[in-house]
Amino acid sequence: MKIPEKYIKEIVGPNCNFDERIIQAFLNCPRDRFVDEAFHRVAFEDNALPIGYGQTISKPSTVAYMTHLLNPSEDDKVLEIGTGSGFQCGILSYLSAFVYTVERIPQLSYKASLTLKRLHRKNIKFKVDNGHIGWKEYAPYNKIIVTASGDSIPEDLLNQLAIGGRMVIPVKDRIKIIEKDDNGIKTIDGDNCRFVEFVK
C-alpha cells in the first residue's frame, strides 16, 4: 500500500517539526506493516489501533512527537520499553546506532521481531521481561523511551540513563522529558497524552 501524502504532510511532519530524518524513517517503516490486515485501510490515519493482548499501536502523531522529543542521533544506543507492534522501534532503528527493546508479552515481542526482520532491520535486540527494570546488561543508554504510562519514573531506568542522556516517558497523562547531567536529573513537561498502562 502506498503511503498517503496526507499522512506525512498533516500527521507526521507537524509533530516532528518536519525533521527530514524522522520523516524518512516513517517512510521506511510503513505503518500498515505493523498492524493486522483488517486495519490496513486505516493504518495511515491518526488513530491508535489494537494489536492484541489488550495493547495498541500508538497514533502516528504521538510516535512522531515522542521521537522528536527523544532526538536520537546516529551514534546513540537506545533503550525502548514496550516493544508492542515494533513500530516505534523500527523508526528508532533508522535514527540511531542500536536499539534494545523490552516487551513483557512474548507473543508481541516475537511478532514485532518478525515484522522488523522483514524490513531488514539488523540493529535491534529484543528481550521479554519486566520493562520497569530496563536492560542492565547493555547500560548505560544515551536515550531511553517508554511507550506505556505509569505513575512514576522507575529508578532502574534513571540509573541506566547515561550522563548527557535523555529519556522520554509518559507519566500519568503527560509526557515527561528527563535529562541527566553531572549535576543530576532535570524534568521537563511535554504534551498531555493517553497510553496503555505500564504494567510490571
Q: Greatest CA span in the chain, whole angstroms?
A: 50
Q: Which is catalytic among the residues 58, 85, 93, 109?
A: 58
**40 contacts 26 by C-beta, under 8 angstroms:** no
61 is catalytic: no
SS3 180: strand
Contacts of 84 (CB under 8 A, 6+ apart): 51, 55, 56, 57, 58, 103, 108, 112, 147
Helices (H) and strands (E) in the chain, counts: 7, 9
SS3 18: coil
- Return the exposure string of 152-167: e unless at least 16 CB atoms fall within 10 Å of the residue's CB, then b: ebbeebbebbeeebbb
Which residues does the annotation mark as catalytic? 58
